[in-house]
Amino acid sequence: MIRSSSFSARARARTRASARRKRGASRGVAARASADVVRVAVVGGGFAGVAAAFRTLEEANARGRAVELTLIDARGVGGGASGVAAGLLHPYTPRGRTIWRGEEGAARARRLLDAAARAEDAMDAMTVERCDDADGGWRDDAGRNTGERRGERVASAPGIVRPARSAKQGRDFAANARRGDDDDDASFAVKCVTTDEVLAMCPGLEFTSDVVEAERRGEACAGGMFVPNGVVVDAPRYLTALWDACAILASRGAAGTRATLRIAAVDDVKALLDEFDQVALCCGAGVAALFDFETIPVSLQGGHVLELKPEGLRVGILGTTYVAPLGDARAMIGPTKEYDATPEDCARSGVVDDVDDERSASAISELRSLGARAYPPCANWEFLRLKYGVRANPPRTPAGALPLAGSVDVDGRRCWFAAGLGARGLIYHGLLADWLSSAILDDDINAIPVDVRRTC
């Protein structure tokens, strides 16, 4: 008792000196760790940006490297066009052919969806508060009203069907859509289906007379193309959950690893390059406000989508107008195609508050008409809300509409970018994230395939 409470002055001095040495050593380790940390900024809280953030953290963890990652978006996670999109994941063109690297892209996207679902389960297990009401609630760590609906899935795989809208399209399906093993849950097999099989999945859908007649005559004309394992994604919930997965990765990373969300607009790339070691612009149509169209050749397209309350439909329907049921409570229908969009219109992305103004009323009327043609029963579905977004389309190539990725020179410094995902953001965002994360961590442009690589 006496020995434990009465140290000699010499012993106390030795103890204080030892403590000072330990603190000094600790500060030295911290300083070295800080010097070794790669500071990365990813601009954009949509498909490309959040996926790039996730893959950069995941790859850094695998290499034992520390990354201080900052995701920057003026509207938070999923606040732009990606959060408005109806996510129908499949790798096929309207004629039933596989798009460029489509199967690989679908597999990479599915992996990210699985990571997001696991993160959501982990957050629930940690009793992280989630919003239960239909309209969602503000989340500081997502930087926006997430619209989360507790108990609903990030994604589901009810299948996706593309009905033949003409006999010619039906013949294309018959020629092209016969691939894969639909018993393999991991595959995106595709098969032809008859008009009766389509109607069994989509009661009330209508076919043109030439499709019906071609099938009756026994021609090689399919009533539709069906992807049994096609995935319907709730984009805002998926992106928020994937950002949660980033936070989990950061908590498991090397000393100094962090994942931080910064709610801010970016109008000065040079300032970011001064602050960070690596900068990746993954801000969709927002890239047009930072560089001219000759530097990064994208074209902007605005679009409205309707959110309705579905009745009885389970599968996703593809076409010029899509119908994407997100469980029993909501379905997305759209989009309109508005080619007069400007970079400034990106600020309007999200839920449209005033649905009675002339532009919104016109969009609702057009979408009601488009939806009724795509799937007549939806004409009677209850209106929930109208949404708007602007996407960046890439130039056409002989291989199709391929996304753009690479680097742009900013006063002699390299800034990474991914742009022009267009209507295929969901199918390509996983691949782009793989390539960008490697380019960032290795500081190597050759990590990006030549088919999509751009140096500006």
Summarize pLDDT for 311-353 with one digit per residue, the tens. 999 999 999 999 999 988 899 999 999 999 999 999 999 999 9
Residue 444 has pLDDT above 90, yes or no: yes
Residue 179 has pLDDT above 70, yes or no: no
Where do the domains of the chain lie? 37-153+234-298+392-456, 160-229
Q: How many Å from the N-terminal Cα to the C-terminal Cα in the chain?
A: 74
Instruction: Provide DSSP, 16-72.
Output: HHHHHHHHHHHHHHHHHHHHHPEEEEEE-SSHHHHHHHHHHHHHHHHHT--EEEEEE
Summarize pLDDT for 91-148 with one digit per residue, the tens. 999 999 999 999 999 999 999 999 999 998 888 777 555 443 333 444 555 554 444 4
- Cα–Cα separations (whole angstroms), residue 385 to 305, 336, 352: 9, 15, 7
**pLDDT on residue 86:** 80
Average pLDDT, the chain: 87
Instruction: Provide DSSP, 332-376.
Output: EEE---BTT--GGGGGG-EE-S-TTSHHHHHHHHHHHHHHHHH-G
Does domain 37-153+234-298+392-456 correspond to CATH entry 3.90.1150.10?
Answer: no
Least confident of 108-122, 144-158, 213-227: 144-158
**pLDDT on residue 122:** 87
Find the DSSP H helices in 217-276.
235-251, 269-275
- Cα–Cα separations (whole angstroms), residue 213 to 204, 222, 278, 304: 19, 11, 59, 35
**pLDDT on residue 123:** 81
Q: pLDDT tier at 52 (50, 70, 90 boundaries)? A: very high
What's the CA gap between 305 and 287, in Å, rounded? Answer: 23
What's the CA gap between 41 and 37, in Å, rounded? Answer: 13
Q: pLDDT tier at 22 (50, 70, 90 boundaries)? A: very low
Q: What is the value of pTM for the model shown?
A: 0.88
**pLDDT on residue 16:** 44
